[in-house]
Amino acid sequence: MSRIGKKPINLPAGVTVDVSAHNTVTVKGPKGTLTQDVNPDITVAVEDNQIVVTRPTESKRHKSLHGLYRSLLNNMVIGVADGYKKELELVGVGYKASNQGQILELSLGYSHNIFFALPDSISLKTETPKGKNPLVTLEGIDKELIGQVAAKIKSLRKVEPYKGKGVRFVGEIVRRKAGKTAGKK
């Protein structure tokens, strides 16, 4: 049974939800608007300032869709109310980050700089505190899009396990490996 799917979603103040006839859910809040097409089998209803997601049968497919759409709608409500934020740090000698508007320029130890264009719905901020690693901060209302962009930036220079160099999330723990041991005597 989908315990996540059965849990109703509470709507914070200032957030409105509209369900169209074609099962398209639109969530409006102080930070923006998000829409999601929901499978026709799953029904979405707004009652008493809560979103309730129900499924028609107990089949495995309906159970999985039930939990999925409840989670997606919950992420939308949180996004338009509070927003999402991801912070990446660049660990490595000479690694730099700067931005001109929505273009992120990364220097990650390659022979060339990497220019990464971000979607308009994500706000970008780069900073280089003295004596610390450069930081890239992504903010927006769409959790899926922010996660996707952050993963793409991380994949430009994956963290290696020997020195720990690369792009990582702030606070991410990297498993380190011991290097080569001294030669035989």
Tell me the per-residue pLDDT of 120-131, one tens digit each, with 9 for 90 and over. 999 999 999 998
Average the pLDDT over 37-46 and give the result: 92
Angle subtended by helix axes 143-155 and 60-81, to nearest 10: 90
Using alpha carbons only, give the angle 94, 168, 141 rounded to the nearest 5 degrees: 120
Determine the Cα–Cα distance for residues 151 and 163; give it in Å rounded to an integer.
21
Tell me the per-residue pLDDT of 123-169, one tens digit each, with 9 for 90 and over. 999 999 998 999 999 999 999 999 999 999 999 999 999 999 999 99
pLDDT at position 185 is 55
pLDDT at position 2 is 60
- Position 178 pLDDT exceeds 90: no
Average the pLDDT over 106-125 and give the result: 93
